[in-house]
Chain A
């Protein structure tokens, strides 16, 4: 195999294996498809971020002085739709997962390369529908599309948005399907399940949710479209329909969807913590099983979004207790990651900074979820800014920090370049501080009673809102900086060798960037995962 000392000479990497737009748009190479996804989701991230900026600008003052109410309602709706369906759900699986799962298991590609490319095109088509919605008047139903507002009363582009999200869902399903088959059938000889990197376990559990949950929201969207177009009455009480049935069908997917968004990040964190403590993750088996447990139990808790919806009291009790049970595997992970650092050999690289930021912020986000799982507490807190703060802590402080951690970790592998260490660490700190300033005041706002999706609010809530908006500008800056230096690194970054971090894992045995085929010869795995070898073993601490 190539090492960093051997001159690459004529050896192609996947980046140089064919030039021109056609070679990219018709590729079947999982690595190129991952890059296509990376570009698309980054594009949508900034669009979603623009909507967020408008929201926080408006909310700096109690009056509705920046935007009309209808426009504001479209801002938060589109922010949610874009961020959830077109950024978070694809993010790690379709970029890092696509790129890394084959090399991590010693394979040359995913099981179904053409379906992989198809999934990207499907994503793009869904995205185009959503862009169409944005430029032709927008959507104002909230990303949750509650009926009968979305089916009967909204005057915005509900159908087009529904079509866009419906289509994008199939992209997610195909990615999940590909991962499951790949991980089952294409592991290298000797690579048993419990020798797999935890990143693979995490994406496997995510794929289970993608294939089982997404079809349900797809058919729910079909029902919304039928209701809106043909008025069949399924969600209209006048015809005997039940508006709350929509909520059940919607949340049956959308709750597991949040685990689609967080599980891959947790997989990233396992890899980062391990690499930058030079230690096998403590409780490897527990971490692996906890991912699967979260995926399974995640399907049993959707009713915790319906505690005040007129759902029965007894159903509420069942969903509440299950929601506590689903929290335990996440706690197990956090404790195991922390233990991995004990007497480890710690390096605070950029990925590691993001990772420990993740652990802190995800812990807070997860714990505040316990507030909301608590029936008596949720009655007061639901539909307030407490919920907004909670999910941004887990999705932004958690999932996005995990994504950035992984992006920074595997950037040298994907591009063959290093980025400037100082700027990347500064950006990580700015993101962390900006994030907390943006979202921590929102917990307080929520408990004070400020409802969510409010365009105007009573003046006594202004101080916290101003803090939050100030934080948002810092957070936005924090996100822009990596964009700049990562782009810069493509041309001017120091060339990276195969394993700049000293990590374990098959992906670090191949060149950076890898050749199209990943491996010339399929590796045979003889050792356990995370075996750190060195010339000198020193008792640390």
Chain B
């Protein structure tokens, strides 16, 4: 590891780091100013106004206990204004952190006591490590198998809690090649401080090389498709349209009408919930008959299923009923569906721009 940096700043390796560091500098400056001001005043007053005789009583500074109103207002308003700058600046960064760009490359993460399991779309898996290409927007979607964890990369200045039963997301754009600490930052039991790893930011060529040497796992979409068949999902949700279950073509990022009124936005959390708690939100026009798959699939498998379902567009084999071709998980454009609600405006394509592909299995 390369640790040529000031010992008070961690490495700066993501798009957020300079902004957070600038904000930090502002906060430190304001804090130092007021701390030093108060400290100096107190010390000066304590010395300058040292009691000189036992009987001396200082003249009261004011008459009625209200104090100098102007002074009170001034030292309330100025800190408030400085604080509002802090608020606004921090809120802008936070808002930015909450909106992964549409072209972000997806990586899936599962945290469990006490390790991080990472899945790339292409199928490559990692434990306690995350390889990403530099200067690309990366979106992590995370969940936990057990307790709450937190995926923290100090060099990127970002973290998010990783919660069982739901997906959380974290995005960043690595800006500097190197190796950076990954820490679990939510206490999770015995080996909480052992749940650490490394994020490797690589040049695009190195990343591609690493990806293709990553083993012979099938892509997530392919794995998901296989599960879709194995678990029998295709029997109701397949192209035969027997009215038992809504078609999943173009589902991802569409708006779904629910039984009993109301709508839901079919993001990855919705898809996950439909698999483990199918009776929670029933699509309008269908009966609540889907069995739950909780306990029958692992979180990684659910992530694969989600990737597969994301990929189902009108031209995919699942829609046309043709024998599934083992492709390399190319995501179709879900916004082109004509089924199940209108597509969300500006629905992001989940097609990840691909590096040149090597021959698949």
Q: Say if the beta carbon of B348 comes within 8 Å of chain A.
A: no
B50 contact set on A, CB distance < 8 A: 346-348
Q: Say if the beta carbon of B60 comes within 8 Å of chain A.
A: yes
A316 vs B160: C-alpha distance in the bound complex, in angstroms? 14
Binds A, one of B78-86, B101-109, B235-243, B305-313: B78-86
A310 vs B142: C-alpha distance in the bound complex, in angstroms? 11
A541 contact set on B, CB distance < 8 A: 48-49, 58
On whether the beta carbons of A379 and B97 are closer than 8 Å, the reply is yes
Whole-angstrom distance from the CB of B180 to the nearest CB of chain A? 9
Q: Say if the beta carbon of A40 comes within 8 Å of chain B.
A: no
On whether the beta carbons of B38 and A360 are closer than 8 Å, the reply is yes
Contact with B along A299-340 (1 / 0, CB 8 A): 000000001111001001100110011011001101110111
A154 vs B188: C-alpha distance in the bound complex, in angstroms? 9
Q: Say if the beta carbon of B208 comes within 8 Å of chain A.
A: no
On whether the beta carbons of B65 and A383 are closer than 8 Å, the reply is no
Q: Say if the beta carbon of A527 comes within 8 Å of chain B.
A: no
Q: Say if the beta carbon of B24 comes within 8 Å of chain A.
A: yes
On whether the beta carbons of A283 and B67 are closer than 8 Å, the reply is yes
A112 contact set on B, CB distance < 8 A: none
A322 vs B242: C-alpha distance in the bound complex, in angstroms? 53
* Closest residue of B by beta carbon distance from A362: B38
Q: Say if the beta carbon of A210 comes within 8 Å of chain B.
A: no
On whether the beta carbons of B67 and A368 are closer than 8 Å, the reply is no
> How many residues of A are counted as interface, with CB atoms below 8 angstroms from the partner's CB atoms?
102
On whether the beta carbons of B163 and A69 are closer than 8 Å, the reply is no
On whether the beta carbons of A534 and B83 are closer than 8 Å, the reply is no
Binds B, one of A214-222, A224-232, A420-428, A441-449: A441-449
Contact with A along B3-15 (1 / 0, CB 8 A): 1000111100000
On whether the beta carbons of B67 and A342 are closer than 8 Å, the reply is no
Within 8 A of A (CB), among B1-56: 3, 7-10, 16, 19-20, 23-24, 27, 30-31, 34-35, 38-39, 41-42, 45-46, 48-53, 55-56
Contact with B along A60-104 (1 / 0, CB 8 A): 000010000110010000000000000000000000000000000
Within 8 A of A (CB), among B60-86: 60-62, 65-68, 71-72, 75-76, 79-80, 83-84, 86
Partner of B89, one of A194, A328, A376, A540: A376
On whether the beta carbons of B160 and A73 are closer than 8 Å, the reply is no
Classify the interface of chain B: helix, strand, loop or mixed.
mixed
On whether the beta carbons of A146 and B57 are closer than 8 Å, the reply is no
A342 contact set on B, CB distance < 8 A: 45, 49, 61
On whether the beta carbons of A447 and B24 are closer than 8 Å, the reply is yes
A334 vs B34: C-alpha distance in the bound complex, in angstroms? 11
Known contacts being A447-B8, A447-B9, is A339 close to B71, with CB within 8 Å? Answer: yes
A371 contact set on B, CB distance < 8 A: 24, 27, 31
Partner of B95, one of A243, A313, A449, A540: A313
Q: Say if the beta carbon of A345 comes within 8 Å of chain B.
A: yes
On whether the beta carbons of A379 and B9 are closer than 8 Å, the reply is no
Binds B, one of A249-257, A259-267, A451-459: A451-459
Q: Say if the beta carbon of A341 comes within 8 Å of chain B.
A: yes
Q: Say if the beta carbon of B91 comes within 8 Å of chain A.
A: yes
A184 vs B7: C-alpha distance in the bound complex, in angstroms? 55
A283 contact set on B, CB distance < 8 A: 66-68, 71-72
Q: Say if the beta carbon of B94 comes within 8 Å of chain A.
A: yes
A457 contact set on B, CB distance < 8 A: 193
Q: Say if the beta carbon of A149 comes within 8 Å of chain B.
A: yes
On whether the beta carbons of B49 and A308 are closer than 8 Å, the reply is no
A444 contact set on B, CB distance < 8 A: 7-8
A237-B163, A374-B89 known; 5 new pairs, CB 8 Å cut-off, are A237-B165, A343-B58, A363-B38, A383-B186, A538-B53
Q: Can you name 18 A-B pairs with beta carbons within 8 Å? A: A149-B188, A242-B165, A243-B165, A280-B65, A283-B71, A308-B150, A310-B163, A325-B80, A334-B38, A343-B58, A373-B83, A374-B90, A455-B193, A456-B194, A457-B193, A458-B196, A460-B3, A536-B56
